[in-house]
Amino acid sequence: MKCDLHALSETNHIFKYADDTTLLVPQHTDIELDIEFNHVKSWATTNQLTLNLSKTKELVFKRPRVQHFHMPPNVDDTEQINCCKLLGVIFQSNLKMDPHVQYILSQCAQRMYLLKLLRHHGMSYAQLTVVTYSIIISRILYALPAWGGFLSTELVGKINALFRRLKRFGYLSCNITVSDLMTDSDIGLFRNMYSPSHCLHHMLPCPRMCDNLRDCGHNFQLPTYCTALHKKSFIMRALYNFV
């Protein structure tokens, strides 16, 4: 059944996953957040659903080193937070990924103990490599295009240090880096977006109006970006890196 819940404004977006709903409203919009939120509540009432306001949180994103920032008032007395988990990824209001990296590295440390037990019980190194990719590398790969571009040099070093430990203990057969994983993930997702049926296809810019004399990785126009942080987002990063 197709959901009939949509944002009132074309600049605002509503994302649904199971019983979770996320409302995204940019700074410059023709319909403010409180109006959109009341629209969601009205839709829920019409469909005999009840919003759990105690679990409804508001997260205001801002640039990490912004000098002048005015925090907007709470919408319908919802709690404003600085950090939240969305589909397994922990986002901060300043777009730094420290809590998320700390969370996944703690999980990986626990899983390394499992690898130690498996090696103690006689599992071969070839089999341990398969398990390592299944329970550790896959954890870091999860949604990597969405958050990998916002990693600081320090966080990159921490993840790469984990990979070096895995290699030193014999759980990996070759050296890998988070940069290698990001490149492969970006290329794979970017190519999948070429298909008109892909859910992210509409986010791609228009094709170029004229042919380029040299070979290019794609035929899309390069959009302008307003900040370096904007260029680190997946769409912008892929368009500029694979041109």
Tell how strand 89-92 and strand 20-24 pair up. Answer: unpaired
If you count them, how many residues does the chain have? 243
What total number of domains does the chain contain? 3
Final residue of a domain: which of 145, 162, 183? Answer: 183
DSSP codes of every residue in 116-150: HHHHHTT--HHHHHHHHIIIIIHHHHTTHHHHGGG
Is pLDDT of 74 > 80?
Answer: no
Same-domain pairing of 222 and 146: no
Same-domain pairing of 102 and 151: yes
Evaluate whether 78 touches 109 at the Cβ level (below 8 Å). Answer: no
Q: Is the dihedral of CA 39, 21, 79, 233 positive or negative?
A: negative
Residue 202 belongs to domain spanning: 193-241
State the burial class of residue 105 (Cβ atoms within 10 Å of its Cβ: 0-12, 13-18, 19+).
middle
What's the average model confidence in pLDDT over 160-188?
A: 95
Within-domain flag for 93? no
Same-domain pairing of 175 and 142: yes
pLDDT bucket at 71, cuts 50 / 70 / 90: low
Give percent above pLDDT 90 in the chain: 61
Within-domain flag for 36? yes
Same-domain pairing of 113 and 138: yes
Within-domain flag for 200? yes
- For residue range 100-155, what is the model confidence (pLDDT) as tens digits? 999 999 999 999 999 999 999 999 999 999 999 999 999 999 999 999 999 999 99
What's the average model confidence in pLDDT over 74-98?
A: 89
Within-domain flag for 154? yes
Same-domain pairing of 138 and 76: no
Same-domain pairing of 174 and 102: yes
pLDDT value of residue 70: 59
- For residue range 179-221, what is the model confidence (pLDDT) as tens digits? 999 999 999 999 999 999 998 998 899 887 765 555 567 888 8
CA angle 211, 212, 217 (to 5 degrees): 105
> How many H-runs (helices) and E-runs (strands) does the chain carry?
9, 6
Final residue of a domain: which of 28, 56, 81? Answer: 81
pLDDT value of residue 221: 87
Within-domain flag for 2? no
